[in-house]
Amino acid sequence: MHADRFLALTRTLAEGGFAPTEDDPLASGLTCVLDGIQGLVESAAHS
């Protein structure tokens, strides 16, 4: 490993900067898609 060449990245990794979060990106994306579909369905129902 080249830790001496990438000091900031090495420090960020050591501090857990890229650790998984509690948020699930798949669930967040799916929620956005489903909200959009719901909006389209409701809009079409009122037309």
Query: Would you kindly state where each structural domain of the chain is located, as residue ranges?
Result: 23-47
Identify which of 23, 43, 46 has the alpha carbon closest to the alpha carbon of residue 35.
43
Q: What is the pLDDT of residue 41?
A: 95
Phi, psi angle pair for 5, to nearest 5°: -90, -25
Q: What is the pLDDT of residue 23?
A: 77
Q: What is the pLDDT of residue 29?
A: 85
Helix (H) or strand (E) run with residue 9 in it = helix 7-14
Quick check: 3 and 10 in contact, CB under 8 A? Answer: yes
Give the SS3 label for residue 13: helix
pLDDT tens, the chain, 47 aa long = 688 888 998 898 888 887 767 778 788 888 899 999 999 999 999 88
Q: What is the pLDDT of residue 1?
A: 62
